Amino acid sequence: MINLHVTTVLMPLIASIVAGLFGAKIGRERSHQITIAAVGLSFLISLYLLINSLGDDFQIQNYNLYSWAIVGNLHMDIGFLIDRLSLLMMVVVTFVSLMVHIYTIGYMHDDPGYQRFFSYISLFTFAMLMLVMSNNFLQLFFGWEAVGLVSYLLIGFWFKRESAVTANLKAFLVNRVGDFGFLLGIAGIVFFTNSLDYYDVFSRVDLIASNEIKITETTSWNAMTMICILLFIGAMGKSAQAPLHVWLPDSMEGPTPISALIHAATMVTAGIFMVARMSPLFELSEVALAFILIIGSVTAFFMGLLGIIQNDIKRVVAYSTLSQLGYMTVALGVSAYSAAIFHLMTHAFFKALLFLAAGSVIIAMHHEQDIRKMGGLKKYMPITYVTSLIGTLALVGFPGSAGFFSKDALIETVKYSHWLGDGMIYWISYLSVLLGVFITSLYSFRMFFLVFHGEERMDKETKSHLHETPTVVTMPLILLAIPSVFIGWFTIKPLLFGEYFDGAIQVLPQHDVLAQLSEGFHGSWDFLLHSFTASLAFYMAFLGFSVAWLLYIKFPEIPNKIHKKMRAIVVVLEEKYFFDTLWMKVFPSIGKSIGRILWKQGDEKMIDGVLVNGTAYGIRSIASVIRNIQTGYLYHYAFAMIVGLVIILSWLLWT
């Protein structure tokens, strides 16, 4: 088994090195063949291991491959933790990555950086596998930072575009803010436990929880709460939670395949996975859970609103990712870690599908991304149309789709989270996810109707060349559409109400909302029928669909009137609640002002003026006085000696 684990991780790395260093020699075709074969093999091994784990005799494997360093009693090891949580993530990551690799053949066909792109996405897959398979915080942090580094390279892949360079720098810097908190959280864990190994740390959680961290002379915070919040700040950066979300929409400057990889199965889900993995820590801090819940609720609702006014097809899907990540975070906040991972899995399939479908439309439209310049593509692109419809239905949670089972279950967990009490936090979170369903349905069908239905708004030149994209593009769409429909039917029971995550996720009995939800669960069909009779989510989704149909099909002139009537609100949404202004203008200007003060007052006046030049001036002044005393005349020196002698004798006589 160890050999299989190592092979799964190393194959994408080896393929990345070959395509990156020798791509020019082996050629474009051989480069994509090697990388696809490597990722495909990793997927097959991961699937094999996952299937084998479903038996009753499955045992969690936790082992170290080698020691990287030893500092005192602190061991820094490289190793793997193979449980059902990591196996599920391995299958999701490798499958979506495989689809993206295949899709890239068609999308990047004429790009001069063809081999380089395949090298990057294979390296991305390797980094994510190292992250999800790690058994210690050191390796977790390595995968964490490696994913961030490769995302920087991919977002700025078209580096000759100024917008791409700005976007990848933005992503890199914003993630460093979150990663600083993440690193402090890991440092806190090492301080209290003197260990980086997950199981060692989990066995000492009571030691952390019983300690206090002194903030001021009169203020102390619980160590577990402090550490958990710091760890989650890292997740806020990676999983793009408000206010560290600003990098994600701009990451659309990268090629569409990487948008699918970043948004669906790799980078943005790392934070969700990390919190679920650290459930033994987070369970001991209700303050941290409440903080997570509030952040998730704000992100789910307010980021969804921004999707309504977007006109770039990729940005609409990007803001839907922000909203869905908010849903997963809300589930983490109510201790429904399994529900968060369940939605992470289904979301990976239908979100990758939506991004790749958007890329298919972009190819057909000769790289036009404005949905206002599309329309009526249904008859030209039937495969893209059907798969986009499946992805959209899954995103809004249409009954029977994969997204329905995960999202509806997630909303129900929030509804049953009575351990929060019936206060403001509970109602804010519940209303946020419920209203978020309506908003998601509205902007999703808005995009769908504007792209595939209604009048044809493209120019004649584009229209004359419209046709379905090649098989190498549509095949991944079909393969992703299958799990987007069916995966929820077969996985909801074991993942949410079964024993699948036993040993991987820990929940305190008083926080176990899924246990309460399981009392009313009687199979997938019953869950489906329940949505029509007792679930508000279905009716909110239907309401969103109806409003979108009325505004963009039946009465398409109304949206412009609404924009004019509600201009103030539209401006706030267009400015993205001014978060970009805050991060890119206000904070930098404050930093520049502080820097200017330190430069002018500190450096020029204090250091150069007082310490350096002032010292020189003082010495020069003293020297100029002393120099006048040294006249060279003997009688002057004799007079000075007599005066000195008088002073000394006077002093002696006086004392």
CA distance 103 to 32: 11
Model pLDDT, residue 421:
65
Q: How confident is the model at residue 228 (pLDDT cuts 50, 70, 90)?
A: very high
Most confidently modeled of 224-238, 606-620, 628-642?
Answer: 224-238
Least confident segment among 58-62, 227-231, 263-267:
263-267
Q: How confident is the model at residue 265 (pLDDT cuts 50, 70, 90)?
A: low
pLDDT at 246 over 80: yes
* DSSP per-residue letters across 585-627: IIHHHHHHHHHHHIIIIIIIIIIIIIIIHHHHHHHHHHHHHHH
Model pLDDT, residue 282:
92
CA distance 286 to 290: 6
Q: How confident is the model at residue 165 (pLDDT cuts 50, 70, 90)?
A: confident
pLDDT digits (tens, 9 = 90+) for 385-416: 999 999 999 999 888 889 888 888 888 888 88
What are the phi and psi torsion angles at 69 (to 5°)? Answer: -160, 155
pLDDT at 474 over 80: yes
Q: Please list the alpha-helical segments (H only) found in 365-423.
A: 382-396, 402-415
Contacts of 123 (CB under 8 A, 6+ apart): 12, 13, 16, 20, 146, 150
Model pLDDT, residue 231:
93
Least confident segment among 1-15, 23-37, 243-257, 338-352:
243-257
* DSSP per-residue letters across 11-52: HHHHHHHHHHHHHHHHHHHHHHHHHHHHHHHHHHHHHHHHHH
Model pLDDT, residue 34:
93
Q: Which of 181, 299, 183 is nearest to 249 (CA)?
A: 299
Read off the amino acid at residue 392: T
First to last CA, the chain: 95
- H/E element, 67: strand 61-71
Model pLDDT, residue 528:
82
Contacts of 437 (CB under 8 A, 6+ apart): 396, 397, 407, 411, 537, 540, 541, 544
Model pLDDT, residue 370:
86
Q: What is the SS3 assignment for 197-230? A: EHHHHHCCHHHHHCCEEECCCCCEEEHHHHHHHH
Q: How confident is the model at residue 559 (pLDDT cuts 50, 70, 90)?
A: confident
Contacts of 296 (CB under 8 A, 6+ apart): 241, 326, 327, 328, 329, 330, 331, 332, 333, 429
What average pLDDT does the segment 43-72 reach? 88
Q: How confident is the model at residue 419 (pLDDT cuts 50, 70, 90)?
A: low
Most confidently modeled of 144-148, 460-464, 633-637?
Answer: 144-148
For residues 275 and 308, is the Cβ–Cβ distance under 8 A?
A: no
For residues 491 and 345, is the Cβ–Cβ distance under 8 A?
A: yes
Q: Which of 81, 83, 89, 96 is nearest to 54 (CA)?
A: 83
Most confidently modeled of 158-167, 263-272, 477-486, 553-562?
Answer: 477-486
Contacts of 7 (CB under 8 A, 6+ apart): 41, 42, 45
Sign of CA dihedral 149, 153, 155, 159: positive
For residue 195 the two structure tokens come to: 């260990």
Q: How confident is the model at residue 233 (pLDDT cuts 50, 70, 90)?
A: very high
Q: Which of 240, 236, 235, 242 is nearest to 252 (CA)?
A: 240
- DSSP 8-state class, residue 370: B
Output 8 or 456, whichever has higher pLDDT. Answer: 8
What average pLDDT does the segment 124-133 reach? 92
Q: Which residue has the tokens 């190793």?
A: 79
Query: What is this structure's pTM?
Result: 0.87
Least confident segment among 302-311, 423-432, 476-485:
423-432
Q: Please list the alpha-helical segments (H only) found in 397-521.
A: 402-415, 424-452, 460-464, 471-492, 513-518
CA distance 329 to 321: 12
Classify 478 as helix, strand or coil. Answer: helix
Contacts of 29 (CB under 8 A, 6+ apart): none
CA distance 227 to 604: 41
Least confident segment among 74-78, 221-225, 572-576, 584-588:
584-588
What average pLDDT does the segment 85-105 reach? 91
Q: Which of 451, 452, 455, 447 is nearest to 548 (CA)?
A: 447
For residues 365 and 436, is the Cβ–Cβ distance under 8 A?
A: no
Mean of the per-residue pLDDT values of the chain: 86
CA distance 350 to 628: 90
Model pLDDT, residue 91:
93
What average pLDDT does the segment 322-341 reach? 91
Please report, rounded to a whole number, the percentage of residues in the chain having pLDDT higher than 70: 99
* DSSP per-residue letters across 122-146: HHHHHHHHHHHHBSBHHHHHHHHHH
Q: What angle do CA 262, 368, 556 make, to 5 degrees?
A: 105
pLDDT digits (tens, 9 = 90+) for 499-512: 888 888 988 888 88
Contacts of 130 (CB under 8 A, 6+ apart): 9, 139, 142, 143, 146
Q: Which residue has the tokens 């509970």?
A: 426
What are the phi and psi torsion angles at 204 (to 5°)? Answer: -115, 25
Output 615 or 473, whichever has higher pLDDT. Answer: 473
pLDDT at 422 over 70: no
Q: Which of 406, 248, 261 is nearest to 327 (CA)?
A: 406
What average pLDDT does the segment 149-155 reach? 88
What average pLDDT does the segment 472-476 reach? 89
CA distance 189 to 208: 8
Model pLDDT, residue 220:
81
Contacts of 109 (CB under 8 A, 6+ apart): none
